[in-house]
Each structure stands twice: as structure tokens, then as C-alpha cells.
Structure 1
Amino acid sequence: MRILVLNGSPRPKGNTKQMVDAFRSGAESAGHRVDVIDVCRKKIAGCLACEYCHTKGNGACVQKDDMQEVYSLLGEADMLVIASPIYYHGVSGQLKCTLDRFYSAAYPRKPRNLKKVAMILSSGDPAMYDGAMFSYKGDFLEYLGLEDMGAFTAYGMENGSASKLKELRDFGKNLK
């Protein structure tokens, strides 16, 4: 299976990145191809709401930035993993810009190969996930109709714990 992970953490060695790396390790050990894009290291602007993609652009975004790499990998992916620390009950701003730009690639229909989705979230408190989960359920499960492979969360002392990283490795390893 071809898996695209969008990592929304600006910290190259932070909690979210550790969970992404654990997932990737497990998935690759099972023979899956995993592409990780650290969106905070990319130049991805927010959606302009110009509608070019649905008029003259014929599905292509008018902006020519690092989102082109995301579009290319998204078109080949069987599964999408959205990973982010929680900022104000939602995903990071950089990841939000990336997800908003899905408008040209996933509306009115999703990429042909894309069938599954999962979410990996890190926070300091267990009561912080509502905004991110609302978007995940509404945008990816209901609107795009992707199969829910699970939402994995870590908060406080769970972040970076051996048991949490094992959970993510096992998840990746057991994907079918």
C-alpha cells in the first residue's frame, strides 16, 4: 500500500514526529511504501478561494508552491495519515493551509486511489482534540467517504512513551 503522511509539527524531533516515525517504521516493515511530508518545512500558502481550480484550472491550483509535491503524492496514495500537534483545539496552522488546498484535488471527488485515512495527534491535555476530530470526521470520513483506520492520540506523559510508540509501530505493521 502507498501511504502519504502529512506531518504538521514544526518540531523536527517533537512528539508528533516521534509518533510519525514509529508509524512509518512499522508500516515499512510490513512492506508498505510511506512518504512523509513535513509541511512546516515547505512553502505552502493558504487557499485563495479564487475558484481557478474549478474553472480555467480544470482541477489544478493556480498557486505554484510546494503543494505541487503534496498533490503528486496524494494522487498516488492509497492511504492518508494526518499528523499534528494540537494548537487551540485544532491541527497546526501549516497543516490547516495544506488541508485547505485539498479543495482543488479532492473536490468534487477524491483522488482515485485514496481509500483510507488515519489521524495522529499530540497534545498536553486529553480534552483538546475536539476541533481536529470534527474536521477529520466531517472532511475525510463523511465528505470524502474514506475508511477510518483510526485516530491515535497522545497527551502529557504519553507523548514519547515506549507504549505509545509501540502502539503506532504496531498500527503501521498491521495495516492491510
Structure 2
Amino acid sequence: MKIAILNGSPRTKNTAAMVNAFAEGAKEAGHEVDILHVGKMQIKECLGCEYCHKKGNGTCIQKDDMQNVLPMLNEADMLVFATPVYYRSITTHLSVVIHRMYPIGKSKKATKSALLVSSLNPGTWKSIEFYYRDLLELIGLEDCGIRTLYGEERESEEKLAEIRAFAKTL
């Protein structure tokens, strides 16, 4: 299975540790993994211009880093969304990517999804869970699970091992 992980964090700790643990477990299980550091990419917001549907044959009129992301999403069998909690929501970086998936609707191959969330406090990710489940219903992906780490858990090798084990089960 080919897995595309969308890391919406602009930072190199916490969420990145979760992403790396997930990727390690998935690779150990024989899956191909692409980590897309969308939190560090230059991706503009959707203009809502409909070029992608009316003239662009599924391509966006904007020329930015999303041109590199969309082909990977189209080839993925599974999408993994990874984000820290910013004001009880996903990062703007990840939100922009989700909005810019509009030209394709969803991955052309993906049938599954998972969510990785890091936060400072327990429970602050609950509003993200609602958004995530609604998104999956909209784009037609099966939820394979949500994994969260908060506070000191974010640096716990035991908790990261649980994420590796989770990825091996997919």
C-alpha cells in the first residue's frame, strides 16, 4: 500500500515525531510511505475560481508547491493527516492543502485515512475529530483510526512505539 502523510506542522518536533514513528511502522509492514511536509511548503489558498473544473482538467491555475503534492495524493492508497492543535483546530497549512484538494475531490486511489494529532493539553483535539470525520464522509475515505499525544506524552518513546505498532496493522 502507498501511504501519503500530510504533515501540517511547520515545526520539527512533536507532530514530526508522530509522523516519523508512523512512517517507520508502515515501512516495517512493507508499505511505501511519502511524507509531505506541507507545513513548510509554499501553498496558496484556494481561489474558488473553478479553473480546475472548467478549463484545467483537474489542475489548479495557481503554480506553487501544491503542484508537487497533488500527484502524490492521486497515487496514494491511504492519506494520513498530521497536525498539532492550533486554537482547537488543524493548522492553516494543512487546511489550505485540504481546500486545494478540490481539483481532484480526493485521491484517485485512496480508500483509507488516519489522523495524528499532537497537543499541549488533553481533549483539545476533539473539535479536530469532528472536522476529520466530516471530511472523510465528504471525500469517501474509511477511518482507520486517530492517534493523539499531548503534553509530555509527545516525547514518550512508549507512546511513539504505540504509533509504530498502529501503522503496522494497516
TM-score per shorter chain, which class? Answer: over 0.9
2:148 aligned with 1:153, yes or no?
yes
Q: Unmatched 5+ residue regions in structure 1?
A: none
| Structure 2 SS opposite 1:118 | strand
Aligned residues: 170
2:53 aligned with 1:59, yes or no?
no
Distance in 1 (alpha carbons) for counterparts of 2:126 and 2:53: 31
| Structure 2 SS opposite 1:43 | coil
Q: Which runs of 4+ in 1 moved over 4 A?
A: none
Shift of 1:144: 1.6
TM-score normalised by structure 2 residue count: 0.96
Would you say the 8 A contact 1:47–1:101 is kept in 2? yes
The equivalent residue for 2:77 is: 78
Instruction: Within 5 Å, give how 1:17-166 maps onto structure 2.
Output: 17-106=16-105, 110-140=106-136, 142-166=137-161
| Structure 2 SS opposite 1:53 | helix
Q: Percent identity?
A: 48
Would you say the 8 A contact 2:9–2:40 is kept in 1? no
Shift of 1:111: 2.9
Q: Unmatched 5+ residue regions in structure 2?
A: none
Task: Note the alpha carbon deviations across 1:59-83, whole angstroms, 9 max, x for none.
Answer: 2111111101110101100000000
Worse-matched range after superposition: 130-139 or 152-161: 130-139
Shift of 1:11: 1.1
Task: Note the alpha carbon deviations across 1:8-62, whole angstroms, 9 max, x for none.
Answer: 11112x1100010001011101110000011122111111111111211122111
The counterpart of 2:166, out of the listed 160, 168, 171, is 171
Would you say the 8 A contact 1:90–1:131 is kept in 2? yes
TM-score normalised by structure 1 residue count: 0.93
Would you say the 8 A contact 1:123–1:156 is kept in 2? yes
Shift of 1:135: 1.7
